[in-house]
Amino acid sequence: MTANNRIVLSSDHSAIQLRQAIAAHIATLGWEAVDIGPATAESTPYPQHGEAAARLVVSGDCRFGIILCGTGQGIMMAANKVRGVRCGVCADTFSARMIRQHNDANMLSIGARVVGEGLALDIVGAFLTAQFEGGRHAPRVEMITALEA
């Protein structure tokens, strides 16, 4: 656990229930959930929610971001446009672990219409317990960052 134990959560309308379940789950793991909504299932465009979460991660307010839409894809694409974000969509625990260990991901995206709640919670757990390995992976991550220049 790092000093900053806040995790921002956001989604579009398709993932309200799963987002709330993840927020409750990460609290049991010792993290503070910063759930920025939306609160209702009214249709709302995913890019703005991906960006809002991303801004809280790159500002340092939150250590990680977990974002959701129907597929996890659109909101991930939006978040990755914010400088400093490394976000991957995961539908399996292996990928969730690897995006931390090898890619030093600071955001995780999940498709609420793709994975069920049980698997989603396992994916979140895998992401949060894995550590960046550094070493040969560090210059590769730096190369990703250099693409933002």
Active site residues: 69, 102
Q: Name which of residues 18 to 57 contact ligand RB5 (CB under 6 A).
A: 46
Longest dimension (CA), the chain: 45
Residue 41 and residue 72 in contact, taking contact as beta carbons nearer than 8 Å: no
β-pair type (64-69, 87-89): unpaired
Residue among 25, 50, 11 nearest 128 (CA): 25
Q: Is 104 in the site for ligand RB5 (CB under 6 A)?
A: no
Beta bridge mates, 88: 108
Among 7, 9, 10, 12, binds ligand RB5 (CB under 6 A): 12
Fill in the DSSP letter of residue 138.
H
Select from 63-71, 87-95, 120-128, 140-148 the region that touches ligand RB5 (CB under 6 A).
Answer: 63-71
Residue showing the smallest CB distance to ligand RB5 in the complex:
74
| Nearer to ligand RB5 among residue 30 and residue 116 (C-beta) | 116
Q: Give the residues lining the site for ligand RB5 (CB under 6 A).
A: 12, 14, 46, 69-71, 73-74
